[in-house]
Amino acid sequence: MISAPNSFPTAEHIVELDRLGDQIAELSAHLEAATARLLDLIREFDARGGWNTGFRSCADWLSWRVGLELGAARERVRVARALATLPRLAQALARGKLSYSKVRALTRVAAPDTEERLLAVGMAGTAHHVERIVRGWRRVDRLAEGRESARRHARRALRVYHDEDGMVAIRGRLAPEVGAVVIQALAAARETLYQRTRAEHAEGIVVQTPMEQQQADALALVAETALHHGIDPGAPGERYQVVVHVEAPVLADADAPGQSVLEDGVYVPAGTSQRFACDASRVVMRHAADGRIEEVGARTRTIPPALRRALHHRDRGCRFPGCGLPFGQGHHIRHWAHGGPTTLSNLALLCRRHHRAVHEEGYQVERQADGELRFRRPDGRPLPDTPPPGAVPADPVGALRAGNDGHGLHLHARTAMPGWLGERLDVGYAIDVLHPLAATSRGVVDSQAPATS
């Protein structure tokens, strides 16, 4: 029995509270060591593209599979990637000597040549000390970058040209402030509408998508969105529309012979044409045997505006498991080329990434008798909205301790205790001593960060 906080503690109670505190500290050290192992697994899973099973990113997969908040999942992935080049920090976390909070802060600024110094900061100070020093460190970094601003601005350039195979090549260098806008736009595209064309499939086999391809997909969505919202005042919807010529048999059967080409004659896969046709205006043309156009029908809209509003109101975002982005495209569950009606019951809202997954990457979706959607992976296995929870042993704390003991870790209540003795933290002095570039900026940090604990 532990006394209430407002009662006068006896010697026996003090000993009991110390023991309780030691148990908290020891278990926390075990949790930090387990977190290090978790980050190792996340890094390997991310590097091997394990999340490329219909998900936009490793963070999105973590959010779906483990239940992490998306921002926390992104931080886990970021820290896991950073620790791949920071072995000292990774080892300190694995041995329970540094908390995840400290490591998360230090990986924002640490580099292989500064890792040892920053590790000393983490071992000596509290998490609050570490956060303050990291903020000061980043200020010095910004000052150093400022001296490069004029040189970078003078080197800005952008080239857009057609490659020999018809691809459009883009190469350039942007000033930091312009690059920041572009990076933010790409990030927004991935996080709101796009984040879903990051995987490429070859012959039904899932392969890891390089970062360059992910960025190319995001840039395509940024361009489409800008034009859709009228970046050019002169009828942007008509002037910038993308025209695909596809024969009717190809729309009904991707294996059927026939053309599926862009306006300039560049071939696109039949699955891509089917995806475009799911939610786009169409004009039906009848050709004679010699190729002459005999009849041109009126342009029709696949999904009328009123039906589209009802679709958005019902689905409230992409229906693919683990997604939920608020905007998307109308997908015909049974394609209209196969006789499927353009009705609310035959439509589902899918974001661009997952619309591609269904049409071109082998994923399947069907509506059940009760109206619910069922998604399947390319191999036919169901993809549930919420995955089953992982198995938990009857004694999770005991299993955690046994696992760490098995790795040769001897963790105790003082494993993660910092070396701080209560002295006042002088952030300016600490940065001046630690940061390699601080000698040219001496005094600046002092004026911006009061030296108070």
Give me the residues paired with residue 348 across strands: 331
- Identify which has the larger pLDDT, 307 or 199: 307
Q: Which of 150-154, 214-218, 271-275, 356-360 has the lowest mean pLDDT?
A: 150-154
Phi-psi region of 380 (alpha: psi -120 to 50; beta: other; left: phi over 0): left
Are 351 and 251 found together in one domain?
A: yes
Whether residue 442 lies inside any domain: the answer is yes
pLDDT digits (tens, 9 = 90+) for 294-325: 566 656 667 888 888 888 889 888 999 888 88
Is the pTM higher than 0.85? The answer reads no
Query: Is residue 6 assigned to a domain?
Result: no
Residues 175 and 104 occupy one common structural domain: no
Please tell me the predicted confidence (pLDDT) of residue 84. Answer: 95
- Return the higher-pLDDT residue of 396 and 439: 396
Q: What is the mean pLDDT of residues 373-400?
A: 80
Residues 182 and 206 in one domain: yes
> Are 405 and 341 found together in one domain?
no
Same domain, 338 and 439: no
For tokens 């098995």, name the residue: 406
Q: Which residues of 116-139 are buried (b: 16+ CB within 10 A; e: fewer)?
A: eebbebbbebbbebbbbbbbbbeb
Same domain, 331 and 403: no
Average pLDDT, the chain: 76
The DSSP annotation for 280-314 comes to SEE--EEE-TTS-EEEEPPPEESS-HHHHHHHHHH
Contact criterion met (CB below 8 Å) for 50 and 424: no
Q: Is residue 388 in some structural domain?
A: no
Does one domain contain both 419 and 362?
no
Q: For position 264, what pLDDT does the model report? A: 58
**Residues 297 and 325 reside in one and the same domain:** yes
pLDDT score at 405: 80
* Domain count for the chain: 3
Domain boundary residue, one of 182, 213, 236? 236
The last residue of a domain, from among 326, 359, 383: 383
The pairing of strands 329-332 and 364-367 is unpaired
pLDDT, tens digit (0-9, with 9 covering 90-100), for 130-178:
998 888 887 777 666 556 555 666 788 888 888 887 788 888 887 655 6
**443 is in which domain, residue-wise?**
11-147+399-448
> Is 142 found in the same domain as 161?
no
Is 391 within a domain? no
